[in-house]
Structure 1
């Protein structure tokens, strides 16, 4: 069963035939068929039609249990508050959600004495909306660390109608940006989501997959010419969250 789960991952999910799974695992067709049939009753496997299978709801339940505990809400708030205190900017945590299409959702934030009323248009698109991974630093650092087939799904999306003028519209330019992000470990957005605001983001990783991102946002006028200290603070927060994701019993 573990080999079959890995095969579904290698084949990028979706509906797979017994032959496809047998080829991916190196197991005989009869063995693959027997394991698949044994997984139907407990919900580990769904049979879509004759000869086609996909991972079932039990697999999703296992993943949800694993993700719900790493890291804890108290820990994320403490780390985001630390990022805000060190930089004076708004610190936000985004999580990747595949339900209804790949999106990022703001799950926690810290902006101290900043007045959300004064943030106005900033708070609306960044906190209350599900946002395309095509736009903004927080979306692109997640997108850069997703498997190629998932990236292609995002490339095929239309750019959100309310995207700011600074958003990257060309897919070739977007792909080149993702390569730079993987090399540098962070992304910078200049008035890309909200006019008047710049942002820095770094990925929160679980293994080689980005589960979310940490975003530091400030008014463009407050961003220094040298971003190196802000980048390091943002990356350090993301690294700590990634370490907790990989080893939730550690204390950071």
Structure 2
């Protein structure tokens, strides 16, 4: 729950966006016209690679487009432009996907992923982590940081671009003693634009989701160190990616500083480990706190990305 990888007011610079060029596609569209599309699209993994050479690859490209474009629904033309595929190819994939319960038509010419796609995700995440593993890692982090409060935040599955606390190691502390109320938990700590853990998760999300979060208002209950300027917030995200962790200074709550590091599974951001200490005790996070937090996140990343046998080894 904290603000920048540097103390408030320290300058940071955002990463420069790199653009890539793609291959023009000139096959006929559904109306018989020729389409000259560029497959390149800055900041997207689907658009920066060549069109699929097999039907299966094209199907996966279309599915990925829905995830990376964001928004509620998209038309075949928009998906075709994003993927570099021909309109007619995209249209046929969408129609086939309706019968296979992968896509659904929500309006004239607009489609979206069905909720069955979420069930696939839940199946993929099943058994990745259990409470015993996370408690052990968080307790070790608490010990390594001389009694720091350790939290595990994960991307909230039903809220789009938010987070939720799923485990913690706080000893005998009552969260009420920290000045946290249920309202705080539901409003401040779920936002990805507040706190070291929120910004850590936000730094690795697709740009379309980052822009959605940047458009959100700052929670009223946020701490005095919260980023209110979107340019400064965006610059802090670049710094998080460069350093691999975030430091926070009274972002969510007055009087508390923090350190957070990302949990990555198969190259995707899944959550963050957060270490919280009183500002009077930790005015600036020392190196041992940063390293212990990074190691806790790395361990949970290893567990989550490993196969069943490797994770139990």
- Structure with the higher strand share, 1 or 2: 1
Aligned match for 1:131, one of 187, 190, 194: 190
The structure with higher relative contact order (CA 8 Å, sep 6+) is 2
Alignment pair present for 1:110 and 2:169: yes
What secondary structure does 2:216 align onto?
A: coil
Distance 1:123 1:229, change over 3 A: farther
| Greater Rg by CA | 2
Q: Match of 1:160?
A: 219
Cα pair 2:223 2:253 within 8 Å, conserved: yes
Distance 1:151 1:103, change over 3 A: same
Give how far 1:49 is off.
Answer: 1.3
Cα pair 1:95 1:105 within 8 Å, conserved: yes
Q: What root-mean-square deviation, in Å, do the aligned CA atoms of Structure 1 and Structure 2 show?
A: 2.3
Measured against aligned partners, the alpha-carbon deviations of 1:61-102 in whole angstroms (never above 9, x if no partner) come to 101222233222221111111111221111100011263452
Alignment pair present for 1:234 and 2:293: yes
For 1:123 and 1:90, the matched residues in 2 are separated by 16
Cα pair 1:197 1:218 within 8 Å, conserved: yes
Q: Match of 1:44?
A: 102
Give how far 1:123 is off.
Answer: 6.5
Cα pair 1:116 1:123 within 8 Å, conserved: no
Distance 1:117 1:199, change over 3 A: closer
For 1:157 and 1:213, the matched residues in 2 are separated by 21
Cα pair 1:137 1:189 within 8 Å, conserved: yes
Alignment pair present for 1:212 and 2:271: yes
Q: Match of 2:73?
A: 15
Structure 1 residue runs of 5 or longer lacking an equivalent are none
Distance 1:50 1:117, change over 3 A: closer
Q: Match of 2:138?
A: 80
For 2:259 and 2:252, the matched residues in 1 are separated by 12
Distance 1:21 1:233, change over 3 A: same
Report how many residues are paired: 251
Q: Match of 1:70?
A: 128
For 2:285 and 2:130, the matched residues in 1 are separated by 33
Structure 2 residue runs of 5 or longer lacking an equivalent are 1-58
Measured against aligned partners, the alpha-carbon deviations of 1:231-251 in whole angstroms (never above 9, x if no partner) come to 000000101111222224223
Measured against aligned partners, the alpha-carbon deviations of 1:128-176 in whole angstroms (never above 9, x if no partner) come to 6552111111101011111111111111111001111111111111111
Distance 1:96 1:126, change over 3 A: farther
Give how far 1:212 is off.
Answer: 0.8
Give how far 1:106 is off.
Answer: 0.4
Moved more, 24-33 or 94-103: 24-33
Q: Match of 1:170?
A: 229
For 1:173 and 1:65, the matched residues in 2 are separated by 38
- Structure with the higher helix share, 1 or 2: 1
For 1:78 and 1:126, the matched residues in 2 are separated by 26
Moved more, 86-95 or 200-209: 200-209
Cα pair 2:66 2:113 within 8 Å, conserved: yes
